[in-house]
Amino acid sequence: MSDLHRASASPRGVCDIRCRRLLFRCWHRGTQEIDLIFGAFAERAAYRLSPVQLDRFEALLDCDDTDLFDWVTGHCKPPPAHDHDVMRMLRASHSGHTKG
C-alpha cells in the first residue's frame, strides 16, 4: 500500500491531502495579492477548519480574483452565498496584517 493510499485511508489522511491541495491552489491563483492573502490564511487556518468550512473555502477559490480581493478588503460586500464564517475569518486575517 502506498503512503498516499495509506494516508487517505484515515479521516486525518483525507484532511491532510485535501489541505495540501488547498494550500497549492491558494498559492497559485494567478493574482499576487490573492495568492498572498489566501496562501497566508490557508497556511495558518486550513488544518483547523471543519469539513464544512473547507467546503466554503474551496467554493471561494472558484470565484474571480478581482471579486475575492474586493470582498476580503471590504471594498464591497460578498454575495450571500459567500458571506459566511470563512469570509469573516479571511477579512479578519487580512485586516490584522494591514494595520500598522
What pLDDT was estimated at residue 13?
60
What is the tens place of the pLDDT at every residue in 7-47?
Answer: 344 445 667 889 999 999 999 988 899 999 999 999 999 99
Domains of the chain: 3-98 (1.10.150.250)
Q: How far apart are CA 33 and CA 49, in angstroms?
A: 22
Q: Is residue 65 within 8 Å of 30, Cβ to Cβ?
A: yes
74 Ramachandran zone, left/alpha/beta (phi>0; psi -120 to 50): left
Q: Is-contact 78 69, C-beta < 8 A?
A: no
Give the model's pLDDT for residue 85.
Answer: 97
Q: With a cut of 50, say whether residue 1 has pLDDT above it.
A: no
Global confidence as pTM:
0.79
pLDDT for residue 5 is more than 50: no
Q: What is the pLDDT of residues 37-75, one digit of tens each?
A: 999 999 999 999 999 999 999 999 999 999 999 999 999
- What average pLDDT does the segment 85-99 reach? 83
